[in-house]
Every structure is written in structure tokens, then in C-alpha cells.
Amino acid sequence: MRKFLKASGGGIRRIVDFFYPPFRKYMSVEFFRYGATGVANLVFDWVIYFCIFHFILHQQMLDLGFVTLSSHIAAFLLAFPFSFTSGFLLQKYVTFNNSDLRGKVQLFRYGIVVVANLVINYIGLKLFVDVFGWFPTPSRMAITIVAAGVSYISQKKYTFR
């Protein structure tokens, strides 16, 4: 399995690197790979969320017996493991493929960074929307930029160093 993941990561890296030359003046190849794989994973997450929300949950509440989840929250929770896993694999095998840390350590640290980003997003939305009275969508966009920057630095310096 590891051979397959390394080979797949190498193939994806070559595809991403093909589009890098016009951006060479503005960013490192590592940062470009991070952005490209991050956007690809985000789109993958949106597709998974859409499919779960519309075709599995049929936009209905999810009754678990002890708690009932709204369809949009249930879809988010059900999609999360897929995007978490794909995001980790893309970062490990495409963006930060030179790390000497063990995979288990990387996965644990990746989880910590993801949780930190969830907290940043939650606090940012509460602050911008509830305190400052900004519109939710522009607030989410601004927070995404901040969270992506924090995530890149954290992944580079902590998770995959």
C-alpha cells in the first residue's frame, strides 16, 4: 500500500508541478503544491458533502436514537473522515514528501492542526458575524485565508518537518 501511495503521490506531484512555472516568481514549489492539493481536497470535500446531503440523507434529519442531527451537520460529520484522510495523504505524499517523521506521528500532528483550524474557524465566525456584524460568507472567506496560512506554517514546521 505504501508503494502505491508513494507512486500516486509522485504522479500527482508531477501533474501539479507542470502548472507551477508561471507562479515561480511568486511562491515556492512547496507552497504551490500545498495550495493546489488544498484546493483539490476542498473541492473533493464539497462533492462528498453534496452527495451525502442529497443522495444518502435526502436532506432529512439523521436520528441516531440518542440525538438527532440536522442534515447539514450530519453531512458535514459524515464527509469529514473522507476529506481528513485525503488531505493528510495529499500533504504527506505530494506536498511534504521529504519528512523523516513516522506516519503515525504525522497523522497525530495533522489531526491537531485540523482541530486548531476548526477552532480558528469557529472563533473567527463568531467574532466577525456575531460581534462585528459582518456578513457570513465574506467572513468565512477571510477566515479561510487566515486558517490556510496558519495551516501551511503548522504543517511545514510541525506536522511534516
pLDDT, tens only, 93-128: 999 998 889 999 999 999 999 999 989 988 998 999
Cβ within 8 Å of residue 111, ≥6 positions away:
84
Mean pLDDT of 2-15: 93
Cell of 13: 506531484
The pLDDT mean for the chain works out to 92
Can you tell me the distance from the alpha carbon of 156 to that of 54, in angstroms, rounded to the nearest whole number?
36
| pTM, to two decimals | 0.85
User: How many Å apart are CA 45 and CA 77, to the nearest integer?
Assistant: 11
Angle between helices 71-90 and 2-18 (to 10 degrees): 90
d(CA 154, CA 161): 9
pLDDT, one tens digit per residue, over 20-63 is 999 999 999 999 999 999 999 999 998 999 999 999 999 999 99
